[in-house]
Structure 1
Amino acid sequence: MSSPQQQRIGLPWPELNDGLVYKDIVSSSESELTTVSDFYSTKYKSSAPLLGWIQRIQNGQIQIDGEVVKDPNTLLRSDSKLVYHRLPWKEPDTPYSIDILYEDDDLIALNKPSGLQVLPGGLFQQRTLLTQLQWCFGKKDSSTKAHESHPVPVHRLGRGTSGILLCAKTKLAKTKLAAYFAEGTSRVGSGNLDQEGGTGRKISKIYRALADGIVEEDEVVIKQPIGVIQYPGVAKGLYVASPEGKPTLSKLYVLERDRQRNCTLVKVEIQSGRPHQIRIHLAYIGHPLVGDPLYVAGGQPKCCGLDVVDAGAFAKDGGYQRPNQAVPGDCGYHLHAHQVELQNLLNSHKVVKIVALLPPILQTSSEAEEKGSSSCK
């Protein structure tokens, strides 16, 4: 079993990010009597409404064939090259210091802090774990080719979730790890499930979570499918409990009940890897995570009504303002990827076991006794 190392990576974030550049080539069908404002407001309507795109054009943020265009009614031609420059902005406060839990020639396991997004998306384009990997592993000896590559995450953890994140250091490792993660999900979908624990699987993932209310059963198996619904502020839709969704499987084990504070400390093993699976599954059985701003009993969001944003209330860059409802990246809940066991990438007879130390709030009374902390707070 690996033990947490003292090695740590992380560089402070700059005040503003570098902005973004989006490129498009106009097709013959798109150019037919289409203005530059119509093109963007139709193709990228989830980014900004028509008036927002007009604002961006008038700001000089869009080029056609290398020339800045400020007239929203400029007609497009087939094969024109469009470039949209999203202005730099200050991203929300985000932790940047990351502990290394395990490392070998193929794999690096990081202890992701809560609040750090894994991949770019939404407001977080630079302040991500991927950026720290690029910065911290891209500054090696320039006489080698090491600086041309860096470890990449092979799965995701929610922004508010802490704990073990596996990253591949080689193309072969990336392929194998991706296959390990996909295997569990595909077995759930085919009905070929393990009857006991993680037997037969190449990777096992165990989480700690703090659930609202008292879970009376010592063990609970949750197979509720997870699907997608439309939701304001989430362009690709929100994952929720849905009978029309994809197959899932979570196994919950009660570790400690605190009836005075009305919460339950649980261990959860997942055999499938749907987005926000644990948050949705615990909410589905009536015990959403303590502090979860999004999911409530039933595995649905707190508010399903569409939040219509004031057409004049745009951000400085012309995009939509943040919706009033919670979104998946909001933090506040307590969920930690505590332990991972996986088959060694080069030697199938060896197992790598990685453990991320528990936050005090997710420790049992006996685990926390030495520190004098309590799990249900």
Structure 2
Amino acid sequence: MLCNNNSRSPLCSFGSPWPDLNEGLFYNDVVSTSSDSGLTLIHFYSSKYKNSAPLQGWLQRIHNGQITIDGEVVKEPKAILRDGMELVYHRLPWREPDAPYLLQVLYEDDDMVALNKPPGLQVLPGGLFQQRTVLMQLQWRASKGSSSLAIQGSHPVPVHRLGRGTSGILLCAKTKVAKTSLAAYFADGTSLIGDSSNANMEQSKRRKISKIYRALVNGILNQDKIIIKQPIGTMRYPGVAKGLYVASPSGKPALSKVEVLERDSQLNQTLVQVEIESGRPHQIRIHLSFIGHPLLGDPLYDVGGQPMCFDSEHEDESFAEDGGYERPAKPVPGDCGYYLHAHQLVLSHPTKNEQVIKITAPLPSILRTQAETEELM
């Protein structure tokens, strides 16, 4: 069912089924004298966008008529580019991988909406997922006349990310003022980590947002409480253009507070609660694997906060039907299978600072303690 605006209870859901194919994409470029004029068409695309496709893939796209120069289709790879030419590459529509589409509303007012994101749904466009995202469902919802959002011209947007395999609370802003405030909350928390000055220590105690996760990890944690301060950086990794985030001594500061909720010696696993005071990408997955307890089912991160398998020298030049690279054989960050849930969020309202809001996302059964399970019976 669709939710009414300003709904706070009971919980409701919204979402539209995904079309079989998305609408494709158009990428625009203008040739500049300084760097691009005089290049051939194939040289321009294969060098500037080498992360999109190998050389043979770009040749296929050109021969397929997917590139225009000043509005005219050009199929000659050696066509010479001149200053001011307008180039457009048309990425043809494709069927995106399966993904859930229903989103549960946990809290909503005129400034923001908090969603319960299911695992398997990407937040923002990227890679193979350009349409099947939380952002697209928010845009479809706003365009319908089911709420005042369409009348107000509001376009809700996520202000932070959750990994595709992570479930739970996702905050979205409905106004520019709320977006600025909420984004600042997340940025401020991260910027304070690593600064031990008294002023920042005091400010840390008064942070505007607190995030608590549930996770199920491999092995038995002996300590009841652990503070992890391992820095997080990047390394080259196949299929991840900007580099894979990993535990790295030269990385940026990160802080996670881990508390054991329940140990299961028979299954050799531990249920934990994690409060993060910084927001580095994949922080919880990296930190827990760093201390020797990767998330149960995590296909990517292994003990030490590093990928399970890695060969930086191997480059796959094969290409898919659309000319782009084949999906990497090795695991990538968007792969699912692990158990991580953004469970609770406490924050100052983005426009009414005196108002403190606590939001809770219902726990998946596998992330409940035995006592919590019994309470629901």
User: How high is the TM-score relative to the length of structure 2?
Assistant: 0.94
Q: Which residue of 2 is the match for residue 48 of structure 1?
A: 53
Report how many residues are paired.
370
**2:68 matched to which residue of 1?**
63
Q: Which residue of 1 aligns with 2:169?
A: 164
Contact 2:8/2:108 (8 A) holds in 1: no
Aligned to 2:244: 238
Q: Can you give the 5+ residue segments of structure 1 that lack an aligned partner in the other structure?
A: 373-377
Q: Who is 2:210 aligned against? A: 204
Select 2:88's aligned residue among 83, 87, 90.
83
**Counterpart-to-counterpart distance in 2, 1:97 and 1:204:** 26
8 Å Cα contact 1:307-1:324 kept in structure 2? no
Map 1:314-353; keep pairs closer than 5 Å: 314-353=319-358
The equivalent residue for 2:21 is 16
The residue identity in structure 1 corresponding to 2:343 is H
Whether 2:187 is the aligned partner of 1:182: answer yes
Aligned with 2:303 (options 279, 283, 297): 297
Residue 263 of structure 2 corresponds to residue 257 of structure 1: yes
Q: Distance in 2 between matches of 1:101 and 1:80?
A: 49
Shift of 1:144: 8.6
Residues 80-89 or 139-148, more deviating: 139-148
Q: By how many angstroms is 1:33 displaced?
A: 3.2
What CA distance in whole angstroms lies between the structure 2 residues aligned with 1:290 and 1:143? Answer: 42
* Match among 136, 153, 157 for residue 158 of structure 2: 153
Residues 32, 309 of structure 1: alpha-carbon distance in 2 compared, 3 angstrom cutoff: same
Q: Which residue number corresponds to residue 375 of structure 1?
A: none
Question: Which AA in structure 2 matches 1:314?
Answer: F
Determine helix, strand or coil for the equivalent of 2:194: helix
Pairwise CA RMSD: 2.1
Q: TM-score, with normalisation over the residues of structure 1?
A: 0.94
Moved over 4 A (4+): 141-145, 192-196
- Percent of aligned pairs sharing the same letter: 64
Q: Which amino acid aligns with 2:273?
A: K
Matched residue of 2:223: which SS? Answer: coil
Shift of 1:32: 4.0
1:28 counterpart SS class: coil
Question: Could you say if the C-alpha distance between residues 366 and 43 of structure 1 is closer, same or farther in structure 2, counting changes exceeding 3 Å?
Answer: same
Pair 1:96-2:101 in alignment: yes
Q: Does 1:112 align with 2:110?
A: no
- 1:147 and 1:127, CA in 2 relative to 1: closer, same or farther beyond 3 A? farther
Partner of 2:228: 222
Change (3 A) 1:123 1:349: same
Q: 1:213 aligns with which of 219, 223, 226?
A: 219
